[in-house]
Amino acid sequence: MSRKQSLIVLFISIMTVATIIGWLVGWNLSEFETIFTGILIKSLMATTVTWLILATSSTSILHRGRAPRTLTIALLLLSIGGLGLIEIVSGGLPRGTLAILTVQWAGFAMGASIVLFTILAIATGRDDEEDSLLAMDQP
């Protein structure tokens, strides 16, 4: 499979799974605006947290010149701007949103690592595999 074909198949498979789950929970096209706004708010929150994490993790290189300082300030300002955008789009976030998002992110990370480690366990753990160095000692 070429790289372009792989990307197309990847996109189709993600869309298929998302459509199946959406169908299970009863999403329909008449609710498109509500669903899109929900996705937009989550997306803005993820963007804001990404900028905040990048800004705070670069605070330890602030002494290395003007560029890291400018970058940290720019990222902090971007994250504050992101917070403002969330407030505008959502019209005031309901309480507990950050708690829900934290648990959801942990769930996604756990799900992703379960799949990744399954692939690694199967791909590396073959019974017919032999250590070539140990095999040299055998008659």
Partner 1 sequence: MNWLAIAFWLLLYAGIPGVIAMHLHRKETKINRFATPTTILVLAGIAGTATMLGRSSDYGPLDTAEALLHLSIPGITYLIGACLAIFGGPTPVGPIPKKWRRGGVILMLISISLIIVQTVEPENLPIGPPIMHEVAISSLLVGISLVGAIGTVVVLSIGENRWSAAIATLALSIGSISLLAMLTTSDTSTIDATIFSGAIGDSLKSAIGTSVGIGFGLWISFHVAIIIERGEKLPETAFQVTEDEMELVKKHLNMNIGGEEE
Binding mask of the shown chain, residues 59 to 88, with x at each position contacting partner 1 by CB under 8 A:
xxx---xxx--xx--xx--x----------
Of residues 9 and 88, the one with the C-beta less far from partner 1: 9
- Applying CB under 8 A, among 29, 33, 91, 115 the residue interacting with partner 1 is 115
Of residues 61 and 88, the one with the C-beta less far from partner 1: 61
Residue 68: helix, strand or coil by DSSP? helix
Closest approach of partner 1 to the CB of residue 139, in Å:
18
Q: Which of residues 26-65 bind partner 1 (CB under 8 A)?
A: 26-27, 35, 38-61, 65
Among 96, 95, 98, smallest CA distance to 106 is for 98
- Applying CB under 8 A, among 33, 111, 138, 139 the residue interacting with partner 1 is 111
Of residues 84 and 104, the one with the C-beta less far from partner 1: 104
